[in-house]
Structure 1
Amino acid sequence: MKRRDLLKAAATLPLLPLLMRSGTALAHGAGTLATALRSRVRPGQTGWPATAEWERLKRDVGGRLLKLEPPFAQGAASPALKQLANPFAVGDNPALTLTSGWADAWTSQPSSYAVAAENTADVVAAVNFAREHHLRLVVKGGGHSYQGTSDAPDSLLVWTRHMNKIALHDAFVPHGCVGHMSPQAAVSVETGAMWIDAYNAVTTHGGRYVQGGGCTTVGVAGLVQSGGFGSFSKNWGTAASNLLEAEVVTADGQVRIANARTNPELFWGLKGGGGGSLGVVTRMTLRTFELPEFFGGMGLIIKADSDTAYRALIAEAVDFYRRALFNPHWGEQMKFYGGDTLDISMMFQGLSKQQAEQTWAPFVDWVHARKNYRITKPFQALAAPAQHLWDAEFLRKYAPNIIVSDDRPNAPRDHFVWAGDRDQAGWFIQGYQSAWLPASLLQPGQQTPLVNALFEAAQHQGVSLHFNKGLAGAPADAIARARDTATHPQVLDAFALAISASGGDPAFPGMPGTKPDLAMARRMAAAVEKTMDALRVVAPDAGSYVSESDYFLHDWQQGFWGSNYPRLAAAKRKYDPDGLFFVHHGVGSEEWNADGFTRKG
């Protein structure tokens, strides 16, 4: 964590008793008490709630107030050690996060207390308590945030994991929108639900599709608020663009409905403005779509025998993408690595296995016709009825090696993670950067500079092109919906999001075993930086995806939201004028020190 500004906080302490007595006047005068104090209180400081006040909160939330302790206080005997291989178990522990930290940035530390919310009234009580007592407030559902936005020591946590009810609608019309919007199929999801819960209800049992994330343990609400891309976003757009309505607890403790006609600016801000900045979302309603006949995937790894051959392979892959894959059917990744290696793993929708094989045949034939390439993982395409993509019982029977179930006793049978995602549980980030790549780079006259940039990027840490995280090539209706969100406008014209990253094993504070090698982490972060520098030669003004980006991004307002930031800032001033909600590089966070405890100026 960055060093705390304790001196400024300490300077306000003698004024606390006076300010607390005059809180009502301040709320109607120059500003609220939080603004006047310019700091939030920590345990042991004057103003920290007394035991009796915590007991009152506990009564208000039906006993669901938890005093959190460091999860590894018992050393090798700590129960949390046994959980780290299971992301569902990690997510079920309010003292843990799915990311253990980021080198030289932050490390996962539990809040002082957590409200294990089971309903909206619990959230209201927590928000009011934090506001009245000037506490640092944190909100956590899935807990996947790479930048630690759901984590802060000395805080009160609103933990929404147990708010996970889901309801399907055949003909949903948002509140106040009768006569203005046609009824449509939708799903309402409480804030603590994970995407596996949503897919299980909507697709496996409901026979429809909801646009969500690829990792099954990610929280629905957090993903939607940050934009939200899944494997098939090139067809159905972002999760945020399909939000129809939200229920939100704002900083004043009011429960508000937000949709296109009721609190429209709050609604717009929730669609990609970043989680945890505007309020606590308690429920979201998302449109659903008809399922295609098939969902599927393919994989192929190719190694070139020289740099010259690798450059030619990159050129062919880029042009093949433009010719055959730059359309709503295809998503996911091509990865350009050192060692002259191209690793392709893509998903498709609306195509059969045979059609997918026919699509790829020209590229595979091109590789086979040349002696300077070795296929280290043969081409394979698989397809299944779309309703079974997240059907745990179907996958256990026909593709058991691609999933890992929650193996705890009495765990829901439908809970699984993709085998390739399991090692993210507790991972420690060394470096992570992203950049939107404009579709203009795919034009024949621009491909050579792009190929050169990808080749150079591969010489450092390597880079993945996530084609589903750029909406160029998507249907016009998907692009129109995404245009009416707070997500960076560059996503509309991007053919892919480039990501370079490096991470290591879990490194929670107090965890027994080897501590993270910070010297090595800094070397890896430098390699990521060089990788992205190579790509910025062809995309010098590229923005970043807020959920997958550099913790240390300097011009983050422009990088995350571009021309949308002033409108987001206005929504923040309207619904949270005193900055109760703070997350790292979130809307309005520039007014606070790095830890969110002391207001600047």
Structure 2
Amino acid sequence: MNRRSFLRAIGSAALLPILPRRPFAATTNFRRRRPSDATWPSQSAWKQLNETVGGNLIPVDFPINKLLDENIRNPYYIGDQPGLTETLGWVDAWATKPSVYAVAARNANDIAAAVNFARENDLRLVVKGGGHSYQGTSNAPDSLLIWTRHMHDIEMHDQFVPQGCEHAIQPQPAVTVGAGTIGMQAYDVVTTKGGKYVQGGGCTTVCLGGLVQSGGFGSYSKHYGTAAGGLLEAEVVTADGQIRIANACTNPDLFWALKGGGGGSFGVVSKMTLRVHDLPEFFGAANFTVKAASDDAYRRLIREFVSFYHDHLFNDHWGEQAHVKPDNTLEISMTSYGLNQEQARKVWQPFLDWVARSPNDYSLKGRVNIGSIPARHWWEVQWWKEHWPEIAFPRDGVVHGLLDDVLVNVLPQPLFDFDTRPGASPNNAWWKGDAGQVAWFIWGFESLWMPASMLEPDSQQRLADALFAASRHSGFELHFNKGLGGAPPDAIAAAKDTATNPAVLTAFALVIAGDAQKPAYPGSPGHEPSVAEGREARKRVHQCVDQLRAIVPNPGAYVSESNYFENGFQQAYWGGNHARLADIKKKYDPDGLFFVHNGVGSEQWSPDGFTKL
């Protein structure tokens, strides 16, 4: 079934239960064109665009029912489909819809041609690299898509100086990546082969172009800082179709906006040059789960962990997550920087001893896995296959004694899932812990930066009480690598010179609470979103985070991982930086060609981005 037939088949009625009900603007000044309009570009116009971009204009297919039953759980497969996004939708908010055409861009000239065509023909324009947007910002029906998936050239530099900065900035190691480069591609070149580090996402299939423009965190951001803080230069196509260089010396205002101002709002990035860093000898992980026998015991466990975190983990050696769950379990899934196995275990021993002293109140579920490996191998898929074959590829589903006694105690727990399609790159892999995001339909999702002041001894009890109260409504995660409290001064200084909400600079963690259904899509038999259940889940998520907002003086949220219905998103995402971003938006995109939900300037448009209010 082709795209148009599919859309006719499901009908608009199928989408009514999940799409938001909003009033239509009483007056309008401008409306973008749709295929049903007489002024929609002619076939000859599209043919000319196709010739301009070297034959890389493609109609976008959308056989969603077929996809749901085949490769929809494979993020690499999803990324290879111009009509798909990794998140399939959000109850009462949006559902992924295909563009009419996509320019499968290969360079900045292709992007400029698409931008000019959209502007001159009053088209809705969207940009997609990895398609990881939870809020649906990389897709829109009746639109022209600029698809950067194939722009993934990578070049290492020993001594890079941004253009025009020859007398202002010292040469430094860097890497230039195409805008469609995903994390695993960058890590393979920079870390596995190059022995260096670049700040990409924790999820291996996140596109670096969108990551940097939204701020960007990886497993080791507590040490290296944000991805936006590592941007040295960008090549970007602005709304006038001009290909510009943006760095600290050339178009510095645009450069600053691209560092955390939100993807898809200021232009289309074609390539970026990012700072690279030295690797430590080891990366590692700590994974275990503690179960409390009662609510009172759980309160004490949370209180003990808060104190332990402040005393032993509040530094740049530890990142990733602690999961606080309604069933009175605390799940630790953290990563370590620069610690060998003995050092990492020594850090955790006091906490594990505390747990062991109360066997009637606490029990460990499964194994305690604390270990380290050479940092250069962290994303080396073949190394994992060779050194942990029984765990990665068990013959009979059982982890055998020798591995349990030896390798599990040497290697950390995180493992990969693999892209098994014929001809797929052997490096196509993703952490098992990220599998839950693949093809999910979000019910509710919110984030909140937690200030480091809450870790002070006189505030720890208040923080612990709020964490416990929040867990009565919904499970949530403390992402320690997504707050820069405890980071080195240079990482904080670089992040301070970005558009990200300054709350990140003094936060010890980003709280994330969410719930979802997977795989699901409206109008798909057997995969219908559960609307009523989703609304109840959204309410629980909101009540959960509200317990924590009550103790945070100036709440802020991370733009890429936040509520679709975020109240006062301008302040939540960017704080005092929003006014400056709004001015830069007016300068480089005065007519609002680039629209994304809850992006800078989006309040001037209807929710679908078609009508100027």
* TM-score normalised according to structure 1 size: 0.93
Structure 2 partner of 1:126: 114
2:344–2:370 Cα contact (<8 Å) kept: yes
Q: In structure 2, how many angstroms separate the alpha carbons of the residues matched to 1:420 and 1:569?
A: 37
Trace 1:205-354 onto structure 2 (pairs within 5 A). Answer: 205-354=193-342
SS of residue matched to 1:596: coil
For 1:245 and 1:424, how far apart are their aligned partners in 2?
A: 31
C-alpha separation between the residues in 1 aligned to 2:273 and 2:172?
A: 11
- CA deviations over 1:361-406 (Å, ceiling 9, x no partner): 0000011011311111332112110000000100112235311121
Q: Deviations over 1:69-126 (max 9, x none)?
A: 3323xx4xx3564120211001100011000000000000000111111111110110
C-alpha deviation, 1:308, in angstroms: 1.0
Task: Give distance in 2, aligned partners of 1:331 and 1:43.
Answer: 48
SS at the partner of 2:459? helix
CA distance in 1, matches of 2:87, 2:524: 14
Pick the aligned partner of 1:38 from 30, 39, 42.
30
**CA-CA distance at 1:524 after TM superposition:** 0.5
Q: Which residue of 1 aligns with 2:403?
A: none
Mapped partners of 2:377, 2:290: distance in 1: 30
- Please point out which of 552, 573, 582 is paired with 2:586: 573
**Residue matched to 1:141:** 129
Matching residue within 414, 417, 437 for 1:424: 437
CA separation in 2, counterparts of 1:547 and 1:109? 20
Distance in 2 (alpha carbons) for counterparts of 1:375 and 1:80: 37
Aligned: 1:182 with 2:170: yes
Q: 2: distance between equivalents of 1:266 and 1:46?
A: 36
In the alignment, the residues of structure 1 paired with residue 522 and residue 296 of structure 2 have an alpha-carbon distance, to the nearest angstrom, of 46
Residue 580 of structure 1 deviates from its aligned partner by: 0.1
CA distance in 1, matches of 2:519, 2:96: 10
- What does the per-residue CA deviation read over 1:268-304, in whole Å, with 9 as the maximum and x for residues that have no partner? 0000001000000000100001100000001110111
1:450 and 1:244 mapped to 2: Cα distance? 38
Contact 1:488-1:563 within 8 A present in 2 as well? yes
Question: Which residue does 2:477 correspond to in 1?
Answer: 464
SS in 2 for 1:83: coil
CA distance in 2, matches of 1:408, 1:283: 28
2:377 is aligned to 388
User: Does structure 2 conserve the Cα–Cα contact (< 8 Å) formed by 1:454 and 1:463?
Assistant: no
CA contact 1:131–1:580 (8 Å) conserved in 2: yes
> Quick check: 1:168 aligned with 2:152?
no
Deviation per CA, 1:513-563, whole angstroms, max 9, x where unpaired? Answer: 231110000010011011001111211421000000000012000010000
Q: Equivalents in 1 of 2:605, 2:143: separation in Å?
A: 15
- Rounded to whole Å, the distance in 2 between the matches of 1:81 and 1:572 is 42
What is the identity, as a one-letter code, of the residue corresponding to 1:396?
Answer: K
Partner of 1:57: 49
| Superposed CA offset, 1:227-255 (max 9, x none) | 00111111110000000000000000000
Give, in whole Å, the separation in 2 of the partners of 1:422 and 1:288: 28
Amino acid at match of 1:560: Y
Runs (5+) with no aligned partner, structure 2: 1-18, 393-414
Deviation by residue 1:129-169 (Cα, 9 ceiling, x = unmatched): 00000000000000000000001001000011011100000
Structure 1 residue matching 2:371: 3-state secondary structure: strand
The yes-or-no answer on 1:479 pairing with 2:473 is no
3-state SS of paired residue (1:82): coil
Name which of 525, 537, 540 aligns with 2:538: 525
Which region of structure 1 is more displaced relative to structure 2, 158-167 or 537-546? 537-546
* Of 547, 550, 561, the match for 2:560: 547
1:510 Cα offset (Å): 4.4
> Which residue among 516, 530, 544 is the counterpart of 1:503?
516
Question: Does the aligned pair in 2 maintain the 1:194–1:220 contact within 8 Å?
Answer: yes
For residues 272 and 141 of structure 1, the distance between their equivalents in structure 2, rounded to whole angstroms, comes to 16
Look up the equivalent residue of 2:40 and give its one-letter code.
W
TM-score by length of 2: 0.91
Structure 1: distance between partners of 2:126 and 2:227: 23
Question: Are 2:526 and 1:513 aligned?
Answer: yes
Residue 440 of structure 1: aligned partner: 453
Residue 89 of structure 1 aligns to a residue in which SS? helix
**In structure 1, what is the Cα distance between the partners aligned to 2:218 and 2:208?**
12
- The answer to whether the 8 A contact 2:444-2:515 is kept is yes
Q: Is the 8 A contact 2:25 2:606 kept in 1?
A: no
Q: Which residue of 2 aligns with 1:20?
A: none
3-state SS in 1 of match to 2:70: helix
Q: Which of 415, 432, 453 in structure 1 is aligned with 2:428?
A: 415
Give the drift of 1:508.
Answer: 3.0
- In the alignment, the residues of structure 2 paired with residue 138 and residue 353 of structure 1 have an alpha-carbon distance, to the nearest angstrom, of 46
2:606 paired residue number: 593
Query: Could you tell which deviates more after superposition, 539-548 or 277-286?
Result: 539-548
Greater displacement, 176-185 / 44-53: 44-53
Who is 1:453 aligned against?
466
Alpha carbons of 1:305 and 1:467: their partners in 2 closer, same or farther (altered >3 Å)?
same
2-structure distance, mates of 1:5, 1:249: 34
Q: Is the aligned partner of 1:204 residue 2:196?
A: no
AA matched with 1:492: L
SS at 2:612's partner residue?
Answer: coil
1:185 CA drift (Å): 0.4
Contact kept? 2:522, 2:529, Cα under 8 Å: no
User: What is the distance in 2 between the residues matched to 1:120 and 1:361?
Assistant: 53
> Structure 1 CA distance, aligned partners of 2:377 and 2:493?
29
Q: Which amino acid aligns with 1:71?
A: P
**Structure 2 letter corresponding to 1:241:** G
The structural deviation recorded for 1:5 is 7.2
In the alignment, what sits opposite 1:69? 61
Quote how far apart the aligned CAs of 1:4 are.
7.6
Q: Distance in 1 between matches of 2:124 and 2:450?
A: 37
1:29 alignment partner in structure 2? none
In structure 1, give the amino acid aligned to 2:33. V
- Name the aligned partner's letter for residue 480 of structure 2: F
Instruction: Choose 223-232 or 399-408, whichever is displaced more.
Output: 399-408
SS at match of 2:611: coil
Say how many residue pairs are matched.
Answer: 570
The code of the aligned residue for 1:111 comes to S
Distance 1:309 1:423 in 2: 29
> Could you give the per-residue CA deviations for residues 293-336 of structure 1, whole angstroms, max 9, x where no partner exists?
00000111011111111111101000000000000100011111
